[in-house]
Amino acid sequence: MTRFEPLLVLDDIAKNYGAIEALKGITFTIGKGEVVALLGDNGAGKSTLVKIISGGLDPSRGTMLFEGRKFLARSPSEAKAAGIETVYQDLSLCTNVDVVANFFMGRELTKRIMGIPVLDEKAMEREVEQAMANAGTRIPSLRTNVEHLSGGQRQAIELNRFVHWGGKLVLLDEPFAALGVEQTRRGLEMIRAVANRGIGVVIITHIMQQAFQVADRIVVIRQGVVAGDVETTKTSPDAVVRMITGESLASTGAAG
């Protein structure tokens, strides 16, 4: 169990594809303001679980509670409306427009001039500038097209946008796979800053060092079940490797 106030509770989540069991009954909790690293080998079921949480797949059985209420998103748009966002490695930004346009995509502010609605560019720019400043993110010009920004800056835009529009839980799928050392360091700092606002964070990564740097808790999935659910400070990389490989589940605090 998490020591944080529960945000998302997963209870016996399973997913079958005919006779194939991708998930056999996943149970764990993600807390408000908690960073959970979701680890496991390829094919362990991590991506399937993320798709169920984010509305891309329906579970075959099991229940989810989000903010204390029964929850099941039938589509990614339903999950987003509830405050759940998935950020993939390739992101979802439009690279041929600037930072402000990306931040307000679908939420543009308008004003009326002679009765005609036009974009309120100055108001949008001020709002984005304030949001970036609050997060400690520095981008030379908010009017720069995203295609000219670094991978780390693009990630910062996506995360800041999520926080600004009232996000409550963010799922990060291999967020730093294509980033350099310094960009990764800044990204990990940003994850901690996001969590400090009371937002739940799930980070899927194959890089053990990243998990131990940023996560409050590590959940290991092996062959569709939770093979370990431990506080980061109470385990070690070697112990987590044993959970992932199944070398010694009994000695690593394995769960359901």
Q: What is the pLDDT of residues 109-122, one digit of tens each?
A: 899 998 898 989 99
- Domain assignments of the chain as residue spans, ordered by start: 6-83+167-251
Between 129 and 135, the higher pLDDT residue = 129
| pLDDT tens track for 149-168 | 888 888 888 888 888 888 99
Residue 248 confidence (pLDDT): 56
Spatial contact of 79 and 35, defined as CB atoms under 8 Å apart: no
Residue 253 confidence (pLDDT): 44
- For 203, list phi and psi in degrees, rounded to 5: -115, 120
17: which strand partners?
20
Give percent of the chain above pLDDT 90.
55
Q: Give the HSE-up count for residue 54: Cα atoms under 13 Å, Cβ half-sphere.
A: 20
Residue 256 confidence (pLDDT): 38
Spatial contact of 77 and 55, defined as CB atoms under 8 Å apart: yes
Q: Give the HSE-up count for residue 183: Cα atoms under 13 Å, Cβ half-sphere.
A: 14
Mean pLDDT of the chain: 88
- The model's confidence at residue 91, banded by pLDDT at 50, 70 and 90, is low
* Crossing angle of the two packed helices 151-164 and 181-195, in degrees rounded to 10: 10
Where is average pLDDT lowest: 3-7, 79-83, 117-121, 184-188?
A: 184-188
| pLDDT tens track for 199-222 | 999 999 888 999 999 999 999 999
Between 128 and 152, the higher pLDDT residue = 128
Residue 1 confidence (pLDDT): 59
Cβ-in-10-Å burial (0-12, 13-18, 19+) of 148 comes to exposed
Q: Is the pLDDT of residue 250 over 50?
A: no
Where is average pLDDT lowest: 129-133, 136-140, 211-215?
A: 136-140
CATH class (in words) of the domain with range 6-83+167-251: alpha beta
Spatial contact of 202 and 36, defined as CB atoms under 8 Å apart: yes
Six-digit token pair at 25? 């009954």
DSSP β-ladder status, 217-222 and 225-231: antiparallel
Segment 221-250 shows an average pLDDT of 89
Residue 252 confidence (pLDDT): 40
Question: Identity (one letter) of the amino acid at 38?
Answer: L
Q: Which residues, other chains included, contact 118 with Cβ-Cβ below 8 Å and sequence gap of 6+?
A: 110, 111, 112
Q: Is the pLDDT of residue 80 over 80?
A: yes
Spatial contact of 23 and 223, defined as CB atoms under 8 Å apart: no
